[in-house]
Amino acid sequence: MAQLFDIKKVTVGPRTLAAEVEVAPNAPLLTSDDPEGTRLMVELMPQIADHVCLGDAGPHFGEVVEQTELAHLLEHVTVELLARTDIAGDISTGRTVQTGERSFEVELSCPDDVLVAGALSSAVWIMQWAYSGGGDPKPDVDAIASGLVDLVASVSEQEPAADESSAEEQPAEQPVSSEAAPVSEEEPAAEPAPVEEQPAPAPEPVPAQAEQPAPEPAPAPEPAQVQDGWGAYSGPRPKSVR
């Protein structure tokens, strides 16, 4: 099977990460469209059946997992990975909203954007395995969660090092003297050659001119008309933030 999901866009907010997810045209849209793949997912991660699931037919995800959108399952797989890291907070939450025929927005609580983006990418890979028939190698969910923890730690260690290296690369400021540079004694400036004074020529008489009337002042320009609204604004327009 080709790629199951296509992550079109990821937006990181102050508290959530929102991903625009599109299900591939040849992929099952509902978990009931591929019962075998759904069974592999539940066997691999049985904890998702105990997830609290608001807004569905039952209070727990296990009651709807066999008849729900694949994007909804992707949300719960990601949440389960976050919970297993033990660094995503006491409660990991998510929300899935259908935005098109095969398009969904998956919103996840985001204590760390690297952690949540990594968990979402790992969840896509796990579901790709299940809905492609399973087989070996079987995903090691605990090892994946441990790898996410290591990923966050490595990024946190690299950020201060990058700041220090950038500070070291900047050259130190050199003092600038306000005094003029001294003239070298080895090359004294040459004295200017004497110039013989010549008598200034007598000015030629200026012929008398008839008096001309002073020009009339030009009329003051009328003030420009300014149109209200965007049409009168010449600078860049502010960007809308969603």
pLDDT for residue 198: 53
Dist CA 133 CA 136 (whole Å):
10
Query: In the chain, which ranges are continuous DSSP H helix?
Result: 35-44, 70-85, 113-130, 141-169
pLDDT for residue 146: 96
Dist CA 29 CA 23 (whole Å):
7
pLDDT for residue 190: 52
How confident is the model over 152-186, as pLDDT tens digits?
A: 999 988 766 555 555 555 554 444 444 444 444 44
pLDDT for residue 56: 72
Write out residues in the chain with pLDDT < 70, as ranges.
1, 159-242
pLDDT for residue 229: 29
pLDDT for residue 196: 53
Dist CA 116 CA 148 (whole Å):
9
pLDDT for residue 2: 73
pLDDT for residue 89: 85
Dist CA 30 CA 64 (whole Å):
11
Residue matched to tokens 């003051």: 220
pLDDT for residue 6: 96
- Sorted by where each begins, the domain ranges of the chain are 5-158
